[in-house]
Amino acid sequence: MDLLEAIRTRSSVRAFRDEPVPRRLLEQVLLDATRAPSAINMQPWDVHMVLGDERKRLSRRLLRSFKERAVTCGPGASRPIPDRFMARARYCADAMTPLVERMGSDFKTYINEGSLNFYGAPAVALIFLDECFPAERMVDVGSLVAYLVLSAEGHGVNSCPIGLVQQYEDEIKDQLNVPESKKLIISVALGFAEPDSPVNEFRSPRADLNEVTRWVD
């Protein structure tokens, strides 16, 4: 697939088929993704790939914890977010709601429980950053995530970045025996889209360029 085509046509998938992604294909996706740039080439990310039954066991634990703690999806901001940003989130929620209802669920339940079940994806990349690095190195992790979803698209693998799992970091680190020095930043679900799922019809719009860009000549 042409790079610009992947950029323009890729969308996040929120319903995956229960079909394994071949290990060699995932390895190639990751090999290409780790070409992402990083400060002085430190490549500070630490990726844990969780597959198959182990992924399902992890999801069961996260969903049990969700029933107890009820930590849900949200912007996670420390102060009020200007409405021009929140309006975009409300638009997406409103547009996705009827699609999710066609699946017999409601938006909040589907997004929260779906996130912790990685939307049924057979594989998930959990991306950590060692605590020895300053917060600025999360920019490098962001580059890796961008390369990862585009690499997956180029290899015919669908994806969805999922942030809610970061709120369940302790359970994940305990389940997977991840060292305490690692901080979970984000996860990316990987698999093949369920073509008949209504939620996969959703396509998020982008703000007008003039809303997000300031030109300085």
Q: What is the pLDDT of residue 130?
A: 96
pTM score, whole prediction: 0.94
- Tell me the domains of the chain and their CATH numbers: 3-71+81-202 (3.40.109.10)
Per-residue b or e along 143-164, where b marks 16 or more CB atoms closer than 10 Å to that residue's CB: bbbebbbbbbbbbebbbbbbeb
Residues 6+ apart with CB under 8 A from 205: 91
Q: What is the pLDDT along the chain (217 residues), one digit of tens a residue?
A: 799 999 999 999 999 999 999 999 999 999 999 999 999 999 999 999 999 999 999 999 999 999 998 888 776 666 889 998 999 999 999 999 999 999 999 999 999 999 999 999 999 999 999 999 999 999 999 999 999 999 999 999 999 999 999 999 999 999 999 999 999 999 999 999 999 999 999 999 999 999 999 999 9
Q: What is the pLDDT of residue 79?
A: 80
Q: In whole angstroms, what is the distance from residue 32 CA to residue 144 CA?
A: 10
